[in-house]
Structure formats: structure tokens, C-alpha cells
Structure 1
Amino acid sequence: MTIIDSPSPNWDARTLPVSMIVLHYTGMPDAAGALARLRDPAAKVSCHYLVDEDGAVHRLVDERHRAWHAGKAHWRQIDDVNSASVGIEIVNPGHDWGYRPFPDAQIAALIPLVADVKQRQAQAREAGPGEQLAGIALSGGGGIRMADDVAAGDAVALLDVGDERDQ
């Protein structure tokens, strides 16, 4: 997998170890606009990786650092999802600009990226980017599966990676 370094200045120090992977869709008309926003210091938003529709993978923030992709989100007992996660943005215009299925090339890049992050970040978990991902067969792609406690159509769906069920 080739990763294009596209550094963003929008990051700070982690305060928690990584315990999840968060997938978002960009909700912007195109990849160029999303990449520009994620790298704009005034926007105060970023992610670790951006996966373009053609399968290109951009690294914006090193995984050792805290990217600003989850806002003030919390999950279960974690009050700082940004510190506890690796954030992956998946280029898709979203509902405002014609939400559509993720292209095969994009999914083909996403699966090994998640598997690679999973390998580095033990006990990682993922949150998904909406109902378009729910129909994609990710199982078998690095041990990724829907969590038992999240509905497949949820806007943010959890996928288990690296838990005891993979044994």
C-alpha cells in the first residue's frame, strides 16, 4: 500500500492510548476540498488518513499524535475520542451533495489500511461512516466485523477488530 504524505498542522499530543479506529465520510463535494480543509489551520480539523475514491491514501497526522476528527465526542467510558483513536476520513460527498456507495477501489484501499493500523494499534475498534458501509462485506478483510451492540444502519456503526472473537 502506497501512502501519500499530506501533512496537516492540526494535531496535538495524545492523552490516552489508541483503543479504536474511527471512520468518517468527508461530507464535502470532492477530495481536493476535503484535503484542503483538513490541512487548513483555521479549520481546526484533521484526521490521520484520508482515503480518496480512486483508492489513494493520504497520511495527514502521524498516528503517534492526536488528530482532530471526532470533535468533543465520547464513547462508553472514553471522554476524549480524538486521543483514543486513529481517524480515517473516507471521501464521499455525503447527503448534502449526493451520498453514494463507496467505490470498489476505495474499499480495496480501506481494508488493508485498517488492517495495517490494527496491526500497530492492539485492541483497536472502529466506528463506521454510515449506512453505505453497512452493506459492504468487510469481514475477512483484516478481521473486521460489526460490533454486536450497534445497528447496521446507524450513522456511526462500530466494527470489532482484534478482540477475542478473532481467535
Structure 2
Amino acid sequence: MTSAIGARDWLCNPEAEVSAHYVIAEDGHLWQLVSEEDRAWHAGAGAWGGIQDVNSHSIGIEIANTGSQPFADPQMRVLENLLRGIMTRWDIPADRVIGHSDCALGRKIDPGRRLDWLRLARQGLAIWPDAAMPGDFAKDCAAFGYVAEQGQQDQLLDAFRMRFRPWAVGPLDDMDRGLAADLAARWPFQSETDLVV
């Protein structure tokens, strides 16, 4: 959408058949569109680990951004406060804060390469891997929670890099493999704990 208000209005339109719990505008304005206790239709056919219906197990946050610019500081501050509250209310650990691009490979690209995941991780609101001994990239990504179908290796690498190596280009390399190995070792998907997407 061309504006946060346009996105908000579309998410409130029954004809759109899409919704989210929250929308955050560039200036930090926050709208709650759906009660956290209710299902929102923000992830589509999204999957994460053993969760095949992300919409039923998540709180969805839409953040207004074109994808080509950094997220504004007021927006990030509101996101941080919102995440703290959601994570506390629902007992959601930092490794269960994911992007739409993480749970809908090749179909969703938000929040994109410009969201500062490291900033969130430094506050315990997301996670950030360290380089480890390179392993089997696809296997380690699956152990962490990514759900990739046969033939989705390019989409898996793109989603992974959008989040953990947004500056990286080219084919899969040992840095990708090492980061994925650390994710699998430190934050393996173990249960159907709810998500923030």
C-alpha cells in the first residue's frame, strides 16, 4: 500500500479477506485492528516448524514500509514496546518472533531487508545467530523452524538472508551454513508455542 492509513483501511475491509492484529505507521502511530485473543488473517498459508496454520498460532504485526528504506525510529520504538507487551502477555520467547517472509517462503517478502533485527535481538525481542561450524543449511533451517517444500531452496536462502544477512548476495556459502547451524543448535523448534509474525 502507498500509506499506513491505506494499509489499515484495506486490512479492515471485509472484501480484502486479510487482517492483522496491529499496524504501525511510519510516524509510530499504532492501530489495533483485531483483539489478540482472536485470529487474524495475516500470514495466509504460512507454516513454521510444526505449526501448519500460523494464523491460528500468532499475533500479526504489519509495519508500514516500502521495503527500500530503513524503518523509522518512531516506528521501531513502538514496535519494541509492542513486542515487549505481547511477549510478556503470551509468554512468547524471542526465537518465536519471526517475519512473514520466514513463514511464507517465496510468497511474502515483508518485513524485508531493512528491518533492524539485530536491534530487536539486543533487547531480547528477537534472536541473532553467531557464526558456527558450517553444517547442512536446509537441515539446520528446518530444525530452527523454516518449512521449505521441494524446490524451494532459493526461496529459503532468500528468506534466511532477508533476516540474518540482508547485505549478502550470490550463492549459498559457509557463512549462511554457519549461521543456520547456530540457529538449529541454540533455538531448535520444539513445540507449538505461539508466534509473533
Q: TM > 0.5 between the two?
A: yes
Alignment of 1:1-167 (within 5 A): 28-94=1-67, 99-124=68-93, 125-128=96-99, 129-134=111-116, 136-141=118-123, 143-146=124-127, 148=129, 149=141, 151-154=160-163
Percent of paired sites with the same residue: 40
Q: Which has the higher strand share?
A: 1
State the 1:122 CA deviation: 1.1
Q: How many residues align?
A: 126
Please list the CA deviations of residues 42-86 of structure 1 after superposition, one character each: whole Å capped at 9, or x if unmatched: 001000000110011100000000000000111111111000000
Gap change, CA 1:49 and 1:68, over 3 Å in 2: same
Q: Which runs of 4+ in 1 moved over 6 A?
A: none
Gap regions ≥5 residues in structure 1: 1-27
Gap change, CA 1:152 and 1:115, over 3 Å in 2: farther
Paired residue type of 2:36: E
Q: Which has the higher helix share?
A: 2
Gap regions ≥5 residues in structure 2: 100-110, 130-140, 145-159, 167-182, 188-197
Does the 8 Å contact 1:131/1:153 carry over to 2? Answer: yes
TM-score (norm 2): 0.58
Partners of 1:152 and 1:121 in 2: CA distance:
28
Paired residue type of 2:88: Q
State the 1:126 CA deviation: 1.2
Does the 8 Å contact 1:134/1:152 carry over to 2? Answer: no
Does the 8 Å contact 1:101/1:132 carry over to 2? Answer: yes
Does the 8 Å contact 1:134/1:153 carry over to 2? Answer: no
